[in-house]
Amino acid sequence: MTIHDSFEGALYVATIVTLAEKYGIRLESGSDFDYYAETIAAHRPQPIGVPFDPNLNAIHPDDGFWFLGWDRDGRLVFTQAVRLLRIEGQSLADYFRDQYVAFPPAGLPIDFDRSFYSPGPSARRMTGTCAYHGDVWMISDPAYRGTGMSSILARLALATALMTWSPDHMIGFIIKKLAFKGLGEREGYMHSEPAALSWYAKDRPDPMVAHMCWMNRDDLRYLLTIPAETVMA
């Protein structure tokens, strides 16, 4: 990470925090995933995502972080988390061939015998450090609908990952329906591999298909040159 990355990233993060405050959202961040899991269990209807569950993963303080957003009434209105993936000496495609079962959609009984990972050409080329971005959730509330707030807060995680680790790659998974609506692009991602994951629920005949959105380090740096305010509605 360069000094320029740190400076630009700090300005970008400060802008997003200010924008969130204008909508009455107080942001909290940390790396204690036990606290994160307890907070989600107490305040969010959806369970914590498996990749960030401290009962299933040993996420050390240097390997992950999270953001929580609270409104003026003390309601949890936003969550997201990021962690480094240990892909040493292999491509991202090789990593997920073995590990995709550790990244299922939350709250669904998955039939792992039918589910599968299908890497695209980019995943086969990705090596080095990789950060995984997930557990993104925003409360369904008219106060935030159409504001672009969920998109701007997602970019907060991207900027923080660049400042913290300067990873070679940043990735996330988005279900096909939302990917086709441009969710990845709204969150700041510049690339996508379609049909990367196909999850079969035990009680459903058709799969839930997810695209892999991704960026490299240069993409992350470029993102910081786009004024955060332009993402807002």
* Cα distance between the two ends of the chain: 31
Domain containing 212 — which CATH number? 3.40.630.30
Pairwise CA distance, residues 75 & 22, whole Å: 16
Q: Give the pair of three-digit tokens for residue 38.
A: 């307890």
The angle formed by the CA atoms of residues 46, 47 and 50, to the nearest 5 degrees, is 130
Give the pLDDT mean for 179-198. Answer: 96
Per-residue confidence (pLDDT) for residue 230, from 0 to 100? 87
Per-residue confidence (pLDDT) for residue 145, from 0 to 100? 82
- Are 80 and 137 contacting, i.e. CB atoms less than 8 angstroms apart? yes
DSSP 148: S
Count how many residues are written for the chain: 233
Residue-number span of the structural domain to which 58 is assigned: 3-231
Q: Please identify which residue in the block is written with the tokens 């630009």.
A: 8
pLDDT (tens digit per residue) in 26-53: 999 999 999 999 999 999 999 999 999 9
- Are 138 and 75 contacting, i.e. CB atoms less than 8 angstroms apart? no
Identify the CA nearest to 154 among candidates 132, 136, 167. Answer: 136
Pairwise CA distance, residues 78 & 194, whole Å: 26
- Are 220 and 162 contacting, i.e. CB atoms less than 8 angstroms apart? yes
Give the pLDDT mean for 91-101. Answer: 96
Query: Domain total for the chain?
Result: 1
- Are 79 and 67 contacting, i.e. CB atoms less than 8 angstroms apart? yes
DSSP 37: H
| pLDDT of 232 higher than 80 | no
